[in-house]
Amino acid sequence: MVAGENLVDLPVTDDWGAGAYVTATVIRPMDVPAGQNPARALGLAHAAVDPGRRALSARFDMPATAEPRGALPVTLQIDGIAAGETAHATIAAVDLGILNLTGFAAPDPSGHYFGQRRLGMAMRDVYGRLIDGQNGQRGALRSGGDRTAPGGFAAPPPTEAPVAFFAGPLQAGPDGTVTARFDLPSFNGTVRLMAVAWSDSGVGQASAELLVRDPVVVAATLPRFLAPGDRSRLLLELTHTSGPAGDMALEVAADGITLDRAALPATVRLDAAGTARIAVPLTADAAGLHRIAVALITPDGRRLTKSLTLPVVANDPAIAQPDRFTLDPQSTFTFDANVFAGFRPGTGAATIAAGPVARLNVPGLLAALDRYPYGCTEQVTSRALPLLYLDEVARAMGLGTRDQLGQRIDESIERVLANQSRNGAFGLWRPGSGDLWLDAYVTDFLSRARAQGHAVPDVAFQGALDNLRNRVNAAPDFDRGGTGIAYALYVLAREGMASIADLRYYADVKGEAFATPLASAQIGAALAAYGDPERADRLFAQAQQQILRRPTAERRAWRADYGSYHRDSAAVLTLAAEAGSQAVDRDLVLARIRTSSRYLSTQEQVWTLLAAHALLRDTAATRLLVDGAPPDGPIVYAADAGTAFAPIEIRNIGTAPATVTLTRFGVPEPPEPSGGEGYFIERAYFTMDGAPADLSQPVATGTRLIAVLTVTPSVAAEARLMVNDPLPAGFEIDNPNLLSGGDIRALDWLDVETEVQASQFLADRFLAAIDWRTNRPFRLAYIVRAVAPGSYHHPAPLVEDMYRPAYRAIGETGRITVTE
- The pLDDT tens digits of the residues spanning 673-708 come to 999 899 999 999 999 888 999 999 999 999 999 999
pLDDT, tens only, 398-412 = 888 999 999 999 999
Q: Per-residue confidence at 4, pLDDT binned at 50, 70, 90? A: very low
Q: Per-residue confidence at 618, pLDDT binned at 50, 70, 90? A: very low
Mean pLDDT value of segment 477-487: 94
Determine the pLDDT at residue 8.
Answer: 44
Alpha-carbon torsion 582, 584, 590, 594, what sign?
negative
pLDDT, tens only, 372-421 = 988 899 999 999 999 999 988 898 888 889 999 999 999 999 999 999 99
Q: Per-residue confidence at 589, pLDDT binned at 50, 70, 90? A: very high
Total Cβ atoms within 10 A of residue 281? 17
Determine the pLDDT at residue 622.
Answer: 62
Determine the pLDDT at residue 54.
Answer: 67
Determine the pLDDT at residue 88.
Answer: 96
Q: Per-residue confidence at 617, pLDDT binned at 50, 70, 90? A: low
DSSP state of 750: G
pLDDT, tens only, 208-241 = 999 999 999 999 999 999 999 999 999 999 999 9
Q: Is the pLDDT of residue 357 over 90?
A: no
pLDDT, tens only, 264-318 = 999 999 999 999 999 999 999 988 899 999 999 999 999 999 999 999 999 999 9
What average pLDDT does the structure give for the chain?
86
Nearest in space to 599 (alpha carbons), one of 316, 314, 378, 322 = 322
pLDDT, tens only, 7-64 = 444 444 444 344 444 444 444 444 445 555 444 444 343 333 444 556 899 999 988 8
Query: Bigger pLDDT: 807 or 671?
Result: 807
d(CA 225, CA 330): 48
Q: Per-residue confidence at 671, pLDDT binned at 50, 70, 90? A: confident
The Cα-based distances of 802 to 375, 389, 603, 621, 720 in angstroms read 11, 25, 10, 35, 6
For residue 786, the one-letter residue type is A
Contacts of 516 (CB under 8 A, 6+ apart): 483, 546, 561, 563, 568
Percent above pLDDT 70 for the chain: 87
Mean pLDDT lowest among 111-115, 225-229, 733-737:
733-737
Angle between helices 602-616 and 362-370 (to 10 degrees): 140
Determine the pLDDT at residue 149.
Answer: 40
The Cα-based distances of 380 to 120, 372, 424, 612 in angstroms read 42, 9, 18, 20
Q: Is the pLDDT of residue 461 over 90?
A: yes
Nearest in space to 374 (alpha carbons), one of 622, 601, 586, 122 = 601
Element (H, E) at 466: helix 458-473
Q: What are phi and psi of 491, to 5 degrees?
A: -65, -40
User: Could you please report the per-residue DSSP string of 607-661?
Assistant: HHHHHHHHHHTTSPPP-EEETTB--SS-EEEEEETTS----EEEEE-SSS-EEEE
d(CA 356, CA 363): 11
Mean pLDDT value of segment 612-622: 67
Helix ranges (DSSP H) in 52-187? 96-102, 109-114, 127-130
Query: Bigger pLDDT: 715 or 748?
Result: 715
Determine the pLDDT at residue 698.
Answer: 96
Q: Are 134 and 423 in contact (CB under 8 A)?
A: yes
Q: Are 412 and 149 in contact (CB under 8 A)?
A: no
Element (H, E) at 391: helix 391-396
